[in-house]
Amino acid sequence: MSAFTATFFLGPKTHVRGSASVHPVLYVEPDGQHRPGYVTFQIDSKLSVDEQLAIAEQFASAVAEWRDGIAERAAREHTAADELAAARAEIARLKGEQEDGSDG
């Protein structure tokens, strides 16, 4: 097993694919499918299929938790943006009413 730390920045072109063969592998390709600079996660084929599944489930659980956190933040930001837009619209409406009332 290799021990190191690497950071890969994911963007809109990121592609993830996997294979559930006897030697399971997951490819994360930050710059798009079949581009240089991809990361490969492999599960040792010497492990039992149940051990392989346990590893894959840990990975999937962590990714789902990561995704859920981002989704929660996005929902909060969308709500704040919607509330700000509604407040601005209400201010514009009130200004319009005030201007209409001062004309008469």
Rounded to 10 degrees, what is the CA torsion of 69, 75, 79, 85? Answer: 120
Supply the range of the domain harboring residue 15.
8-46
Tell whether 56 and 104 lie within a shared domain. yes
Q: Tell whether the model's pLDDT for residue 35 goes beyond 60.
A: yes
pLDDT of residue 103: 63
Q: How many C-beta atoms surround the C-beta of residue 58 within 10 A?
A: 10
Tell whether 57 and 20 lie within a shared domain. no
pLDDT confidence tier of residue 4, bands split at 50, 70 and 90: confident
| pTM reported for the whole predicted model | 0.69
Q: Tell whether the model's pLDDT for residue 104 goes beyond 60.
A: no
Looking at per-residue pLDDT, the higher value among 60 and 78 belongs to: 60
Tell whether 68 and 89 lie within a shared domain. yes
Q: Is residue 13 part of a domain?
A: yes
Radius of gyration of the chain (CA): 25
- Euclidean distance between CA atoms 88 and 91, whole angstroms: 5
